[in-house]
Structure 1
């Protein structure tokens, strides 16, 4: 009767980012609705013009999008429990996807000087094509890892013939404990910024490497 061996195979690889995604917002508060709206639209117009130029002229941006301006109002309370006069808030959000990281750095420098504008997040990712290729490679190598483990286990008890009987995503073989997802791309690496606008030098961005990982479960018969 063959020995049953059930294992998990894993593989993780690291890749240089190919796209940078900038999230930014234009936001302003004030007591006058018209002034708040006009100020938000003025700052938004400067951001919009730059994004349009980058997208059309040199292809530094692959795509971008924006919200419509949102104007809200509220009457805040002070520490004494007194309700204060009405305050109006206007906000517009933008997301821009860059292929040119130098242009991304210059864009951040520019918008940092635009009134009421804040860069809230920069993310990094691979292209869809590169992600698919990296995942396929990771899955392949995860299966090889599982087979290698099974052979080593078999050889440790004096068996030499190993036959694959099942390969599954994590959690689908009942006698293997819970594990990570079958394939996950950690394509949202954190922002690292060196320098700052106004310090006399250009802002430099250094994205973290992007992790692409796969995990499989496999069952073998050894004899």
Structure 2
């Protein structure tokens, strides 16, 4: 009897509509006064935060309610300065320093209709803009889909091994398993791949055909 090992790759992707959206806003201001530009971005940030707080419903103990449209928000301010270009005479004395204030603002939405309304309100702020939106699933859904995709990927690989073995009338058994990371993951899906090494038993006649 002859034994050989083949490795087959199984794959399964579970998809789900996104459950959360993380928006990234940029609030910025530029001018000759550090105090002024800082005040401008802070004022806009506080105004937007007030809108979000109305959507972030909380229990009496401060925890966010499950039905809240917004689960969290955060911001970080950065202040930088630079010299203006010199005038025609090369003199910098008439060109005061320029200050740039920037706030990176993040918020996680659980209700996408409210997110759309919030984004529309950005048009009312000259120094605020939407930079990015990231879509993703909750941890509970990721855990559920991760378990499902691992099981299905393994079954996909072992099914292929069985099909190859059946075609040549071999017996097959799994002897090894390796989980591999796919090249890319959907932000609102779970993708899993697996290598399964299968040991096959069979014989060869004098002409070289498997029997």
TM-score category of the 2 structures, normalised to the smaller one:
0.7 to 0.9
Report what 1:59 is aligned to: 68
Q: Considering only CA atoms, is the larger Rg found in Structure 1 or Structure 2? A: 2
| Secondary structure, counterpart of 1:186 in structure 2 | coil
Report what 2:153 is aligned to: 142
Deviations 1:178-197 (A, max 9, x none): xxx1696421xxxxxxxxxx
Alpha-carbon distance between aligned partners in 1 of 2:38 and 2:50, rounded to the nearest angstrom? 18
Change (3 A) 1:46 1:3: same
Alpha-carbon distance between aligned partners in 2 of 1:73 and 1:168, rounded to the nearest angstrom? 53
Alpha-carbon distance between aligned partners in 1 of 2:108 and 2:153, rounded to the nearest angstrom? 31
Deviations 1:130-184 (A, max 9, x none): 011111111100000100111122123231x2111111123xxxxxxxxxx1696
Alpha-carbon distance between aligned partners in 1 of 2:98 and 2:166, rounded to the nearest angstrom? 74
Residue 18 (1) aligns with residue 28 (2):
no
RMSD: 2.3
The alpha-carbon deviation at position 93 of structure 1 amounts to 1.3
Report what 1:211 is aligned to: 189
Q: Of 162, 171, 179, which aligns to 1:169?
A: 179
Report what 1:221 is aligned to: 199
TM (normalized to structure 2)? 0.81
Alpha-carbon distance between aligned partners in 1 of 2:9 and 2:88, rounded to the nearest angstrom? 61
Report what 2:115 is aligned to: 104
Report what 1:202 is aligned to: none
For structure 2, the 5+ residue unaligned runs are 59-66, 202-211
Q: What are the equivalent positions in structure 2 for 1:197-208 lying under 5 Å apart?
A: none
- 8 Å Cα contact 1:23/1:120 also seen in 2: yes
Aligned length: 189
Change (3 A) 1:46 1:106: same
TM (normalized to structure 1)? 0.77
Deviations 1:50-100 (A, max 9, x none): 122111366111111111x32211114379896653110111111111110
Report what 2:6 is aligned to: 5
The alpha-carbon deviation at position 38 of structure 1 amounts to 1.8
